[in-house]
């Protein structure tokens, strides 16, 4: 039944009067009177056409102007199909290895952004050096080769393969020699690839050539014990370490591993047990290792051999024929005392020598044998594969080329045109070779001379493996698709030798499947392989380290050594020149890395240059000042380099770092410093880095870009050190415990730290000053590189720096004040101390009170924050910071063509850590205590529904530190590592008298000095 009901909403509707009906029509809105406007007033104003044209003209003009600026296109392409293992914002870590060290590669959205040590790495226990930290940047280096090259023109791989294989067939038919020249390769798979290649082309020989060579040690061991290897040294097992010019903490063989071993008998734990090793360094230039030595004895390179002969005589009580007394009375006295100490520490002593001379190393072997080091501190059975270069073989190879006997040569990871001492001979000889192939990643000095450049993958794009120490196998796995059109060298070699296995990945798998997985006790096949990809390495059971007795006749050896000394000894105003590697640049292979170029060299604090290090006394004598450019000439080669005033440099000697003066290393490397490799000589079958040089002043002067220009501590308690003797008497000696005052009364209530109170402990006795933390921080926190000129203006941006102070010892007293130092007569007795300095996150932070806009504030977790967005850049905070750790963005370093060190191209910014913003010009920045890591750690714990554990969060600097000198953690947790470390009697706070209440506690430096040696 239809309803007749009528619903109404109001009386108006019920009545339905005309007014309501009218209103109801326009219930919702007044219509826009477009019609009215268009039809009447709107267009009929005066000259609407002109107005229209004006507007049009302006509009077109404005749009044209705006369009003149090319708007950069930033493509942000989301994953079409999300890879299972990639979650945007969450990093993935992959195991890999770097120079035989197991590492972890952190990737974000498929791109590697950070390399970290694998905490289980047997060599360095999770530490990495600056070079490894910086290696991630080279992946994105815009100057890497982007495709294969033939005769200087870009080509394709197919075309190249065809060409090379034809050539190889022709060479094979011709019967002339084929050579593969490489730096040391310890990868079992690569070696197998080369072996297979040799199988296919039997005229091939693999020549191993290291720019900085250890042939002397290898041949000495062959000579002494019949084992042609670099032994594995155990510095942790040595109570007395005597080094003759071996920079084992900085550059010698395996420095990261040695650093870790070295501090085992010097760190807090060892000191608590009242145990500390003694380290005596005999050297001419101030090395990173020498600067850490308890006692450092200055000798000339020419005195090294004599000193060793004398040491041998002292230890054995015999006299080798032709023995000369050391002219250097200080050293002569030291040798006697050192010999006594070494003898007393028999079985726990270690003598190492940095020389690459076979005879010298034979004598060192004899000494170590006398001291019972073999089987204890030196392991010849689980030997090192890190260096296998054979200098004589390379020299012979150059001779072969010169004679026209070589028809094909392949260069892998090597660059002799730059680092061979006689590069001109090499270059001339190379022209006679029919087929020259380089696998270089960049068009370097050697590659540019080759007919074919088949660019290799970078290690982060590669499969591979490593075997740094016998029995320790690490895996390399790619963490990104190849950035450019490159191909792995091993793969290329497989193709060119028509190997049955066509790709290198399968080849590596086979190597591991056949042999290595079993060695590590893993199943064969995919299961074992997957386990390897989880752990990163396998370790075969270590062979027992055998004892080796030295039984060769030393008479001839002694004669050779003494003859050589006579040859190097410089007379009539000449200087003994010693070449060395500096910690940042090493042999120059990574010279195009701006992080490394800007990393201050640990001792000199010089960036972006090499120099002639000279003793202050010599400089005074010759009237030189720092920065004077001198021409150094030795056996026909000369370079002009600035002088560096180097306290602790032996008088009559100069030191020059190799690895600089690249000509085709890339825009960063080229023209930085001068090449010192040609000063090397080939003598008695090895390359030797000493020469007699004459100096002439050019009259030019430059300012070296040093990050520290004042070198004495001025008697301030910023640095506190003590001797081991004092420490044993009173562990709190010099930490200022005795001056501990009652806490100051505070006018305000302290803020609560309910959950965390983040603090740090830095052990000055563990820090070797290597600078790995500086580069790790660069990588983690997107710290800009500012370049040489800006460093000269004292504007480097490093959030963590390592302060290095020299003090002089006179009559047993430490002299630290500039004024007094200038009056000292004897400037040879130098002590060095390193102090990592970063934002102290003061609880009473002076920076916070002065910031006008609250851009820097304290957190409830004890951290001093920077709000970049709020900062207006008054720099008041930096002025008021007593530690001077704040860094101001003077320019737009990220995006200013004048600072084009690496970032202004389409690739390199991919290395940036997306968790950390880059800072615009005009804002202040400083150490954030890796706040992004703290946050990530807290989030991870939250996801896993557990409290944050001690050790979950590690700072970038702490993570990479090879000696665990830096400990970070929660002070609220009394059981945290950092709380324990801060309880050490050695703990003191820098400038604690200001009551800024720093959050970083330092532990006093302890020197195990021998007072007899000091006097």
Residue 886 CB contacts under 8 Å (≥ 6 apart), including other chains: 839, 847, 877, 878, 924, 925, 926
Q: Minimum Å distance from CB 875 to other proteins?
A: 4
Structure tokens at 827: 């400037």
Beta-carbon count within 10 A of 45 CB: 8
Q: Minimum Å distance from CB 819 to other proteins?
A: 8
Structure tokens at 197: 């290649």
Q: Minimum Å distance from CB 227 to other proteins?
A: 46
Torsion on CA atoms 24, 25, 31, 33, rounded to nearest 10 = -120
Among 1014, 595, 553, smallest CA distance to 775 is for 595
Q: Nearer Cβ to other proteins, position 708 or 728?
A: 708
516 touches 473 (CB < 8 A)? yes
Q: Nearer Cβ to other proteins, position 427 or 921?
A: 921
Residue 485 CB contacts under 8 Å (≥ 6 apart), including other chains: 146, 147, 148, 157
Q: Minimum Å distance from CB 879 to other proteins?
A: 4
Q: Nearer Cβ to other proteins, position 157 or 876?
A: 876
Q: Minimum Å distance from CB 890 to other proteins?
A: 3
Residue 192 CB contacts under 8 Å (≥ 6 apart), including other chains: 507, 511
Q: Nearer Cβ to other proteins, position 559 or 708?
A: 708
Beta-carbon count within 10 A of 973 CB: 17
Q: Nearer Cβ to other proteins, position 151 or 849?
A: 849
Q: Nearer Cβ to other proteins, position 701 or 991?
A: 991
Q: Minimum Å distance from CB 833 to other proteins?
A: 11
Q: Minimum Å distance from CB 65 to other proteins?
A: 20
Q: Nearer Cβ to other proteins, position 93 or 890?
A: 890
**Distance separating alpha carbons of residues 807 and 248, to the nearest angstrom:** 23
In terms of phi and psi (left: phi > 0; alpha: psi -120 to 50; beta: otherwise), the region of 495 is alpha
Q: Nearer Cβ to other proteins, position 314 or 796?
A: 796
Q: Nearer Cβ to other proteins, position 190 or 781?
A: 781
Q: Nearer Cβ to other proteins, position 849 or 935?
A: 849
Q: Minimum Å distance from CB 793 to other proteins?
A: 6
Torsion on CA atoms 920, 926, 928, 933, rounded to nearest 10 = 70
Q: Minimum Å distance from CB 138 to other proteins?
A: 28
**In the complex, which residues of this chain contact other proteins (CB under 8 A)?**
708-716, 718, 790, 793-796, 801, 803-805, 835, 837, 846, 849-854, 870-876, 878-880, 882-884, 886-892, 920-924, 990-991, 994, 996
Q: Minimum Å distance from CB 786 to other proteins?
A: 9
Structure tokens at 758: 């983040």
| Bridge partners, residue 469, by sequence | 384, 472
Q: How far apart are the first and last CA of the chain?
A: 124
Q: Minimum Å distance from CB 777 to other proteins?
A: 16
**Distance separating alpha carbons of residues 659 and 675, to the nearest angstrom:** 7
296 touches 830 (CB < 8 A)? yes
Q: Minimum Å distance from CB 228 to other proteins?
A: 46
Helix, strand or coil for residue 8?
Answer: coil
Helix, strand or coil for residue 187?
Answer: coil
Distances from the Cα of 555 to the Cα of 132, 318, 552, 686, 904, angstroms = 43, 12, 9, 20, 61
**Distance separating alpha carbons of residues 680 and 641, to the nearest angstrom:** 17
Q: Nearer Cβ to other proteins, position 405 or 817?
A: 817
Q: Minimum Å distance from CB 791 to other proteins?
A: 10
CA torsion sign for 663, 668, 673, 677 is negative
| Bridge partners, residue 94, by sequence | 105
Q: Nearer Cβ to other proteins, position 547 or 880?
A: 880
387 touches 214 (CB < 8 A)? yes
Residue 185 CB contacts under 8 Å (≥ 6 apart), including other chains: 191, 194, 208, 388, 412, 413
Q: Nearer Cβ to other proteins, position 303 or 803?
A: 803
Q: Nearer Cβ to other proteins, position 408 or 966?
A: 966
Q: Minimum Å distance from CB 782 to other proteins?
A: 18
Q: Minimum Å distance from CB 803 to other proteins?
A: 4
DSSP-derived secondary structure letter, 552: S
Largest alpha-carbon pair distance within the chain? 136
Helix runs in 209-327, H state only: 215-225, 255-264, 268-272, 288-292, 301-316
Q: How many residues in the chain? A: 1015
Burial class (CB in 10 A: 0-12, 13-18, 19+), 142: middle
Q: Minimum Å distance from CB 717 to other proteins?
A: 9
| Bridge partners, residue 103, by sequence | 96, 117
For 87, phi then psi, to 5°, come to: -115, 120
Torsion on CA atoms 774, 441, 903, 893, rounded to nearest 10 = 50
Q: Nearer Cβ to other proteins, position 278 or 720?
A: 720
Q: Nearer Cβ to other proteins, position 509 or 801?
A: 801
Structure tokens at 885: 């750790």
Q: Nearer Cβ to other proteins, position 123 or 923?
A: 923
Q: Minimum Å distance from CB 845 to other proteins?
A: 10
Among 361, 120, 124, 360, smallest CA distance to 236 is for 124
């Amino acid at each position: 039944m239809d309803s007749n009901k009528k619903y109404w909403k109001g009386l108006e509707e019920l009545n339905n009067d005309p007014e309501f009906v009218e209103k109801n029509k326009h219930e919702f809105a007044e219509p826009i009177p477009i019609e009215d406007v268009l039809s009447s007033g709107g267009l009929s104003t005066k000259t609407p056409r002109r107005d229209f044209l004006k507007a049009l003209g302006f509009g077109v003009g404005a749009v044209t102007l705006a369009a003149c600026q090319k708007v950069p296109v930033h493509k942000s392409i989301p994953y079409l199909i999300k890879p299972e293992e990639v979650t945007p914002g969450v990093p993935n870590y992959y195991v890999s290895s770097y120079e035989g060290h197991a590492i972890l590669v952190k990737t974000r959205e498929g791109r590697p952004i950070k390399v970290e040590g694998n905490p289980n790495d047997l060599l360095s226990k999770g530490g990495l050096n600056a070079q490894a930290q910086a290696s991630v940047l080279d992946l994105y280096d815009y100057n890497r080769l982007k495709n294969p090259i033939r005769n200087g023109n870009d080509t394709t791989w197919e075309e190249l393969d065809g060409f090379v294989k034809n050539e190889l067939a022709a060479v094979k038919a011709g019967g002339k020699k084929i050579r593969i020249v490489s730096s040391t390769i310890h990868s079992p798979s690569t070696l197998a690839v080369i072996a297979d290649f040799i199988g296919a082309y039997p005229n091939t020989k693999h020549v191993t050539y290291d720019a900085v060579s250890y042939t002397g040690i290898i041949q000495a061991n062959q000579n002494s014990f019949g084992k042609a290897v670099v032994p594995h040294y155990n510095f942790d097992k040595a109570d007395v370490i005597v080094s003759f010019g071996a920079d084992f903490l900085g550059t010698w063989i395996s420095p990261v591993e040695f650093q870790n071993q070295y501090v085992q008998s010097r760190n807090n734990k060892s000191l608590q047990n009242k145990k500390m090793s003694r380290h005596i360094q005999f050297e001419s230039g101030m090395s990173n290792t020498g600067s850490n030595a308890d006692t450092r004895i200055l000798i000339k390179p020419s005195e090294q051999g004599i000193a060793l002969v004398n040491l041998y005589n002292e230890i054995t009580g015999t006299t080798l024929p032709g023995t000369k007394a050391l002219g250097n009375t200080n050293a002569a006295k030291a040798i006697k005392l050192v010999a006594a100490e070494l003898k007393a520490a028999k079985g726990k002593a270690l003598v190492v020598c940095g020389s690459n001379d076979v005879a010298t190393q034979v004598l060192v072997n004899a000494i170590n044998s006398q001291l019972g080091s073999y089987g204890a501190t030196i392991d010849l059975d689980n030997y090192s594969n890190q260096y296998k270069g054979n200098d004589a073989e390379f020299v012979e190879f150059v001779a072969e080329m010169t004679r026209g006997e070589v028809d094909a040569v392949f260069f892998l990871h090597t660059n002799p045109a730059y680092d061979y001492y006689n590069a001109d001979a090499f270059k001339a000889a190379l022209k006679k070779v029919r087929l020259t192939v380089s696998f270089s990643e960049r068009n370097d000095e050697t590659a540019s001379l080759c007919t074919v450049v088949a660019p290799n993958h970078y290690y982060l794009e590669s499969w591979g493996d490593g075997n740094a120490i016998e029995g320790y196998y690490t895996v390399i796995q790619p963490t990104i698709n190849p950035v450019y059109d490159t191909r792995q060298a091993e793969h290329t070699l497989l193709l060119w030798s028509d190997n049955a296995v066509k790709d290198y990945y399968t080849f590596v798998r086979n190597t591991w499947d056949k042999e290595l997985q079993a060695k590590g006790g893993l199943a064969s096949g995919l299961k074992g392989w997957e386990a390897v990809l989880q752990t990163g390495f396998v370790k075969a059971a270590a062979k027992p380290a055998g004892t080796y007795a030295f039984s060769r006749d030393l008479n001839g050896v002694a004669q050779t050594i003494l003859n050589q000394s006579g040859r190097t000894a410089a007379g009539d105003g000449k200087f003994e020149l010693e070449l060395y590697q500096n910690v940042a640049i090493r042999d120059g292979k990574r010279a195009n890395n701006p992080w490394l170029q800007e990393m201050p060299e640990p001792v000199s604090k010089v960036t972006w240059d090499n120099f002639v290090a000279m003793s202050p006394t010599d400089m005074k004598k010759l009237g030189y000042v720092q920065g004077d450019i001198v021409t150094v000439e030795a056996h026909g080669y000369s370079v002009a380099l600035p002088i560096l005033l180097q306290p602790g440099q032996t008088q009559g000697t100069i030191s020059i770092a190799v690895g600089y003066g690249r000509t085709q290393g890339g825009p960063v490397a080229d023209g930085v410093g001068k090449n010192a490799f040609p000063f090397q000589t080939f003598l008695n079958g090895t390359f030797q880095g000493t020469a007699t040089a004459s100096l002439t002043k050019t009259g030019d002067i430059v300012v070296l870009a040093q990050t520290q220009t004042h070198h004495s501590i001025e008697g301030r308690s910023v640095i506190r050190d003590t001797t081991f003797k004092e420490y044993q008497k009173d562990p709190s000696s010099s930490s200022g415990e005795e001056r501990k005052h009652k806490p100051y009364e505070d006018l305000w209530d302290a803020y609560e730290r309910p959950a965390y109170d983040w603090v740090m402990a830095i052990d000055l006795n563990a820090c070797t000053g290597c600078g790995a933390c500086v580069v790790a921080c660069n990588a983690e926190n997107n710290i800009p590189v500012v370049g040489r000129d800006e460093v000269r203006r004292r504007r480097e941006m490093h959030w963590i720096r390592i302060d290095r102070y020299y003090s002089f010892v006179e009559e047993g007293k430490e002299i630290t004040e500039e004024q007094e130092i200038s009056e000292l007569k004897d400037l040879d007795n130098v002590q060095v101390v390193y102090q990592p300095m970063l934002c102290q996150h003061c609880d009473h932070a002076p920076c916070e009170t002065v910031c006008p806009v609250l851009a820097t504030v304290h957190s409830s977790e004890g951290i001093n924050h920077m709000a970049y967005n709020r900062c207006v850049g008054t720099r008041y905070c930096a002025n008021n910071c007593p530690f001077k750790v704040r860094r101001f963005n003077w320019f737009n370093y990220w995006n200013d063509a004048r600072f084009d060190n690496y970032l202004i191209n389409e690739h390199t910014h991919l290395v940036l850590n997306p968790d950390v913003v880059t800072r615009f010009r005009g804002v202040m920045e400083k150490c954030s205590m890796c706040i992004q890591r703290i946050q990530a750690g807290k989030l991870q714990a939250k996801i896993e529904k557990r409290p944050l554990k001690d050790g979950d969060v590690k700072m970038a600097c702490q993570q990479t530190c090879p000696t665990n000198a830096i400990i970070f953690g929660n002070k609220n947790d009394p059981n945290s590592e950092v709380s324990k470390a801060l309880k050490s009697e050695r703990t003191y706070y820098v400038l604690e008298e200001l009551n800024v209440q720093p959050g970083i506690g330092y532990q006093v430096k302890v020197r195990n000095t021998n007072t007899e040696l000091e006097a």
